[in-house]
C-alpha cells in the first residue's frame, strides 16, 4: 500500500468520510451499544481532523481537534493512531466520548484499546451517567465489550467546587464494575462518606445506573417517631417483575416492639392499570391483635369510549389509620364505576359500600350498600329553540339493621330503612336578547320519582312524586369601558319561579346539608339530592359587579336574596334559606397579577347576624406561598351539628434558599379554644441529596384515637436509577 498524502503544508481538513472499522467502533463499542460484527454492516463513520496521515502502510494517524461521528455518537480527542499490524488503537486526550442522547459521557486523558474496543485501558478516566452520577479512577479497564472496571474509584452525583476535593457525599470502593448491558453498578468494599467523613461500610453494593428507570433492590430507608409506637425504621425492597409489573416490600421495626410489613403491587395493562397495597402490624397499642389495612385502585378503558374505575379499602380497627399516620379518613368507601362522557351525553353506573370509623355513628343504621345510575342526554328543540336535557336515574341503599323505628340519633330516619328509587325528568331553557341589551329567559323542569321503601314504620311503602317547576328570568348587563382599559360589568338579575309537587311523603336522606351560595342563587331547586324538592312561588333577586383591570387583577361581588309567598319547609336554619325570606347572600372574589387569590361568602340576617360564612385566601410565588381558610356556622341539629363551628386553617411554605424549603400547616378551633392539628416541615434538596424532616401533632381525641406526635425523616441520595428528580445544583463561591 502506497504512502498516503501528507497534509501538513495544506489548509487543515475539516472532514473526510471513509470506512475504517476501528474509528466506527471507537464511538459505538466503547459505549456497549453494538457488537463489532454488527457494526461492519452499519453506515460509515465520519472523521474530522486538522491533519490526516497514513504512515508505514499500516498506521492511520489523525491529529488536531479530532472528532469522530457515528450514529449520533461523538468522540473528541487530540490524536488518534490505529496500528493495523498490532490491531491496536491509541487515543490521546483530552478524550471525550458522548452517546447519542448524552446520557453517558466518558472522559479520559489517554486510551490504549483493541481495534474492536472490547478490551483496553483508559488512563485518568471519568464516567458521567445521565448528567448525574460521576465515577472516577486513575485507570479504567474495558472488557468483554460491556464492562467498565475502575479500581480505587470514587462515585458521587454531587458538584465539587474549585479549590475543594470533597463532595457532599461520595462512595469510595476498592473496585467499581459498571455493566453497561444490564445497566447495573457493583461496588466492592464500598464506604459511604458524608462531607469526607466515613459513615457506613458495605462489603458489597449494587445500584442501578441513572439510565435505568426500574431495578430490583433496596430503596432508601425512612425513619419515624410516633408517640405510641416509638422510633422506627422502614426499609423498602423493590422487585421489578417485568416491564409492566412491580412489587414493593416495606418492613418496619420500632423501639416499642411494633412490627409491620407493607406490600404494594402495581401492574400496567394495555387498557389500564391497578395498584394494590396492604399492611399487617403487631404492636402494644392493641396487644395480641394483628392489625392491618388494604387498599386497591384501578382504571381501565372499555370499548365504545366507556371507562371502568374501582377503589376498595378495608381496615382491621377504627384507630389503625390514625395510629400509623396513614390517613385521617373516618369513613371507608368502596366503589365500582362504569362511565362515559361525550359532548352531549353522560352515562354512569356506580356501586358504593360504606364502612364508618366514626365513634358516634351507628354502623347498622348507616347505609352500607348503595347503587346509583345516571343517564343525561342534551338536546335542542329545533324550531322552538332553546336547549334541554333528558335525565334518567336509579338509586338504592340498604342498611344492615331491620329495625323500622328511629333510634337515638336525631335524623328522623328509621334504623333499618331501605330504599329503591327510579327517576325520569327533563329540563329546558331558552334566551332572548332585546335591542336594549336585556336578556330574557324561560326555563323549566319536570321529574317523576317512584320509590320502594321497606323497614320504615313512617315512610314505608311505594310512594311516588311528580315535580314540576317553571321560571322567567330577566338580566340586564351594563358594561363600561374606561379610557385606561378598565372594564366594569354590573348585572342585575330577577327570576320569578313557581314549582310544586304532587305525591306522597318521602324521607329526606340525601339533601340534609344545603349550601346557599352564588352558584345556586338562581336555581329552580336548591336541594342537592332527589329526596326533597323546593316548592312554592318565589322571587330570586340579585346583582353582580365585576371589574377587570388590564394591570392583571379582577374583582367580583355578588349579592342576593330569595323572597317567598309562603315559608319554605325542608331547609335547616343554618342553610339561611328557611322562612318566607332567606338571609342575605354576599360573595366576593378577587385575583391579582402577583398570585393572590381571595374568595369570601357571608350569609346573614337583616340585623347582620351571620348564619354561615367562610373566607379562603391563597398566594403563590417562587419564594413564598400560603393558603388559609376560615369557616363559621351556627349550631343546627338538623345538620347533625350540636355546636357552633369556628375553625381556622393555615398552611404555607417559604423557599429559604435554592435548596432549603420550610412548610407549616395547622388548624385551630375557636369554639373549643384549642388546636386541632399542627404540622411543620423542612427539606433540603440539591443535585445529589434530598433530606425531608417533618413534625406533626394531633391534639384531638376520641374513644378510639388519642393525641399524638409524629416525626418523619427521609434521606435520599439522588443520581441512582429513575428516582427523584435532582434539585438545583449548589452554588460555588469565588
> Does 369 score more than 60 pLDDT?
yes
pLDDT at 668: 95
Question: DSSP characters for 519-568?
Answer: TSTT-S---SSSS----EEEEEEEEEEEEEETTTEEEEEEEEEEEEEEEE
Cell digits of residue 496: 320569578
- pLDDT tens, residue by residue, 16-51: 333 344 444 444 444 444 444 444 434 566 888 888
Spatial distance between the Cα atoms of 117 and 124, rounded to a whole number of angstroms: 18
Q: How far is CA 453 from each of CA 463, 508, 532, rounded to the nearest angstrom?
A: 8, 12, 15
3-state secondary structure of 697: strand
Least confident of 55-64, 251-260, 277-286: 55-64
Spatial distance between the Cα atoms of 617 and 434, rounded to a whole number of angstroms: 39
Mean pLDDT of 436-457: 94
Spatial distance between the Cα atoms of 615 and 645, rounded to a whole number of angstroms: 14
Element holding 40 (H helix, E strand): helix 36-40
| Euclidean distance between the first and the last CA atom of the chain, given in angstroms as a whole number | 57
- pLDDT tens, residue by residue, 36-93: 444 443 456 688 888 888 887 778 888 888 888 877 778 889 998 888 777 788 888 8
Instruction: Check: CB of residue 104 under 8 Å from CB of residue 98.
Output: yes
Spatial distance between the Cα atoms of 647 and 624, rounded to a whole number of angstroms: 24
pLDDT at 670: 94
Mean pLDDT of 595-621: 94
pLDDT at 12: 41
pLDDT at 23: 47
Instruction: Give CA 179 to chain center in angstroms.
Output: 34
pLDDT at 336: 97
> Does 410 score more than 80 pLDDT?
no
Q: Return the number of other C-beta atoms located less than 10 Å from residue 530's C-beta.
A: 21
- pLDDT tens, residue by residue, 551-566: 889 999 999 999 999 9
- pLDDT tens, residue by residue, 662-683: 999 999 999 989 999 999 999 9
Spatial distance between the Cα atoms of 107 and 96, rounded to a whole number of angstroms: 5
Share of the chain above pLDDT 90, in %: 55
Instruction: Check: CB of residue 283 under 8 Å from CB of residue 313.
Output: no
- pLDDT tens, residue by residue, 418-433: 999 999 999 999 999 9
Instruction: Check: CB of residue 446 under 8 Å from CB of residue 509.
Output: no
pLDDT at 70: 75
- pLDDT tens, residue by residue, 114-150: 766 678 898 999 988 888 889 999 999 988 878 899 9
In 269-344 the beta strands, taken as DSSP E runs, fall at: 272-282, 291-301, 307-315, 331-342
Please report the sign of the dihedral spanned by the C-alpha atoms of residue 647, residue 653, residue 654, residue 656: positive
- pLDDT tens, residue by residue, 679-730: 999 999 988 899 999 999 988 776 667 788 899 999 888 887 666 777 777 7
Compute the half-sphere exposure of residue 490: CA atoms within 13 Å on the CB side of its CA.
2
pLDDT at 162: 66
Report H helices in 102-243.
none
Cell digits of residue 734: 469565588
- pLDDT tens, residue by residue, 181-227: 888 999 999 999 998 899 989 999 888 888 888 888 888 899 999 98
Element holding 28 (H helix, E strand): helix 21-28
Mean pLDDT of 324-331: 85
What's the mean per-residue pLDDT of the chain?
Answer: 87
Could you state, in order of their start, the residue ranges of all structural domains in the chain? 1-118, 480-643
Spatial distance between the Cα atoms of 179 and 149, rounded to a whole number of angstroms: 9
- pLDDT tens, residue by residue, 373-396: 999 999 998 778 899 999 999 999
Beta bridge partners of 397: 370, 419
> Does 15 score more than 50 pLDDT?
no
Give the β-pairing of 369-380 and 345-356: antiparallel
Q: How far is CA 649 from each of CA 181, 561, 652, rounded to the nearest angstrom?
A: 53, 29, 11
Mean pLDDT of 617-631: 95
**Of 366, 373, 416, nearest to 395 (Cα)?**
373
> Does 13 score more than 60 pLDDT?
no
Mean pLDDT of 436-459: 94
Spatial distance between the Cα atoms of 75 and 96, rounded to a whole number of angstroms: 6
3-state secondary structure of 677: strand
Cell digits of residue 202: 458495605
Question: DSSP characters for 227-257?
Answer: TTTEEEEE--EEEEEETTEEEEEEEEEETTS
Element holding 25 (H helix, E strand): helix 21-28
pLDDT at 734: 60
Q: How far is CA 446 from each of CA 250, 423, 501, 607, rounded to the nearest angstrom?
A: 56, 11, 10, 37
Spatial distance between the Cα atoms of 274 and 259, rounded to a whole number of angstroms: 27
More confident residue, 56 or 372: 372
> Does 253 score more than 60 pLDDT?
yes
The CATH code of the domain at 1-118 is 2.60.450
pLDDT at 38: 42
Element holding 454 (H helix, E strand): strand 439-454
* Residues 104, 105, 111: CA angle, nearest 5 degrees: 125
Q: What is the DSSP letter of 483?
A: T
Element holding 716 (H helix, E strand): strand 708-717
- pLDDT tens, residue by residue, 491-524: 999 999 999 999 888 888 899 899 999 999 999 9
Whether this model's pTM surpasses 0.85: no
Least confident of 84-98, 458-472, 558-572: 84-98
Q: How far is CA 506 from each of CA 395, 461, 570, 654, rounded to the nearest angstrom?
A: 14, 10, 11, 53
pLDDT at 116: 63
pLDDT at 413: 81
Amino acid at each position: 500500500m502506497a504512502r498516503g498524502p501528507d497534509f501538513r503544508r495544506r489548509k487543515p481538513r475539516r472532514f473526510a468520510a471513509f470506512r475504517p472499522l476501528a474509528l466506527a467502533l471507537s464511538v459505538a463499542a466503547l459505549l456497549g451499544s453494538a457488537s463489532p460484527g454488527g457494526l461492519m454492516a452499519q453506515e460509515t463513520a465520519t472523521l474530522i481532523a486538522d491533519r490526516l496521515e497514513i504512515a508505514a502502510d499500516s498506521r492511520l494517524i489523525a491529529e488536531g481537534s479530532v472528532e469522530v461521528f457515528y450514529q449520533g455518537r461523538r468522540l473528541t480527542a487530540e490524536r488518534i493512531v490505529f496500528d493495523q499490524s498490532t490491531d491496536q488503537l491509541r487515543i490521546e486526550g483530552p478524550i471525550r466520548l458522548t452517546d447519542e442522547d448524552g446520557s453517558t459521557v466518558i472522559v479520559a486523558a489517554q486510551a490504549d484499546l483493541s481495534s474492536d474496543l472490547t478490551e483496553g485501558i483508559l488512563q485518568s478516566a471519568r464516567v458521567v451517567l445521565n448528567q448525574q452520577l460521576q465515577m472516577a479512577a486513575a485507570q479504567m479497564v474495558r472488557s468483554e465489550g460491556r464492562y467498565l472496571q475502575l479500581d480505587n474509584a470514587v462515585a458521587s452525583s454531587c458538584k465539587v467546587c474549585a479549590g475543594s476535593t470533597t463532595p457532599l457525599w461520595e462512595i469510595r470502593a476498592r473496585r467499581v464494575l459498571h455493566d453497561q448491558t444490564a445497566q447495573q453498578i457493583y461496588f466492592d468494599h464500598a464506604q459511604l462518606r458524608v462531607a469526607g467523613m466515613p459513615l457506613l461500610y458495605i462489603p458489597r453494593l449494587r445500584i442501578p445506573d441513572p439510565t435505568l428507570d426500574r431495578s430490583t433492590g433496596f430503596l432508601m430507608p425512612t425513619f419515624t417517631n410516633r408517640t405510641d409506637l416509638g422510633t422506627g425504621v422502614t426499609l423498602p425492597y423493590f422487585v421489578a417483575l417485568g416491564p409492566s409489573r412491580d412489587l414493593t416490600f416495606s418492613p418496619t421495626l420500632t423501639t416499642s416492639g411494633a412490627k409491620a410489613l407493607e406490600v404494594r403491587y402495581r401492574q400496567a395493562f394495555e387498557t389500564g392499570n391497578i395498584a394494590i397495597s396492604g399492611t399487617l402490624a403487631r404492636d402494644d397499642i392493641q396487644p395480641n391483635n394483628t392489625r392491618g389495612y388494604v387498599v386497591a385502585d384501578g382504571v381501565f378503558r372499555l370499548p365504545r369510549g366507556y371507562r371502568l374505575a374501582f377503589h376498595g379499602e378495608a381496615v382491621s380497627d377504627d384507630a389503625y389509620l390514625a395510629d400509623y399516620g396513614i390517613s385521617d379518613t373516618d369513613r371507608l368507601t368502596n366503589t365500582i364505576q362504569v362511565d362515559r362522557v361525550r359532548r352531549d351525553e353522560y352515562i354512569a353506573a356506580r356501586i358504593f359500600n360504606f364502612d364508618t370509623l366514626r365513634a358516634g355513628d351507628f354502623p347498622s343504621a348507616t347505609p352500607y350498600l348503595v347503587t346509583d345510575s345516571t343517564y343525561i342526554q342534551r338536546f335542542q328543540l329545533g324550531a322552538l329553540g332553546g336547549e334541554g336535557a333528558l335525565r334518567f336515574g336509579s338509586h338504592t341503599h340498604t342498611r344492615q339493621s331491620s329495625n323500622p323505628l328511629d333510634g337515638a340519633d336525631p335524623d328522623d330516619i328509621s334504623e333499618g330503612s331501605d330504599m329503591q328509587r327510579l327517576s325520569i325528568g327533563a329540563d329546558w331553557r331558552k334566551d332572548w336578547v332585546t335591542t336594549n341589551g336585556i336578556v330574557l329567559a324561560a326555563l323549566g323542569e319536570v321529574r317523576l320519582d317512584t320509590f320502594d321503601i321497606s323497614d320504615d314504620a313512617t315512610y314505608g311503602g311505594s310512594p311516588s312524586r311528580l315535580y314540576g317547576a317553571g321560571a322567567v328570568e330577566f338580566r340586564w348587563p351594563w358594561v363600561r369601558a374606561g379610557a385606561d382599559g378598565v372594564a366594569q360589568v354590573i348585572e342585575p338579575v330577577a327570576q320569578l319561579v313557581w314549582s310544586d309537587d304532587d305525591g306522597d311523603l318521602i324521607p329526606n336522606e340525601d339533601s340534609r346539608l344545603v349550601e346557599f351560595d352564588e352558584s345556586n342563587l338562581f336555581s329552580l331547586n336548591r336541594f342537592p339530592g332527589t329526596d326533597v324538592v323546593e316548592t312554592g312561588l318565589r322571587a330570586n333577586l340579585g346583582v353582580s359587579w365585576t371589574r377587570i383591570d388590564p394591570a392583571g387583577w379582577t374583582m367580583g361581588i355578588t349579592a342576593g336574596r330569595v323572597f317567598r309567598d309562603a315559608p319554605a319547609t325542608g331547609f335547616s336554619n343554618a342553610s339561611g334559606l328557611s322562612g318566607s325570606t332567606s338571609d342575605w347572600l354576599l360573595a366576593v372574589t378577587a385575583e391579582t397579577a402577583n398570585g393572590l387569590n381571595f374568595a369570601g361568602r357571608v350569609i346573614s340576617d337583616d340585623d347582620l347576624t351571620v348564619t354561615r360564612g367562610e373566607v379562603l385566601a391563597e398566594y403563590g410565588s417562587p419564594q413564598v406561598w400560603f393558603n388559609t381558610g376560615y369557616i363559621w356556622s351556627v349550631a343546627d341539629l338538623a345538620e347533625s351539628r350540636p355546636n357552633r363551628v369556628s375553625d381556622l386553617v393555615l398552611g404555607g411554605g417559604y423557599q429559604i434558599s435554592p435548596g432549603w424549603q420550610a412548610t407549616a400547616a395547622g388548624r385551630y378551633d375557636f369554639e373549643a379554644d384549642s388546636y386541632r392539628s399542627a404540622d411543620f416541615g423542612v427539606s433540603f434538596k440539591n443535585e445529589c441529596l434530598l433530606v425531608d424532616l417533618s413534625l406533626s401533632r394531633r391534639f384531638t381525641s376520641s374513644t378510639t384515637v388519642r393525641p399524638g406526635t409524629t416525626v418523619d425523616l427521609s434521606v435520599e441520595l439522588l443520581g441512582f436509577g429513575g428516582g427523584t428528580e435532582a434539585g438545583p445544583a449548589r452554588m460555588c463561591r469565588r
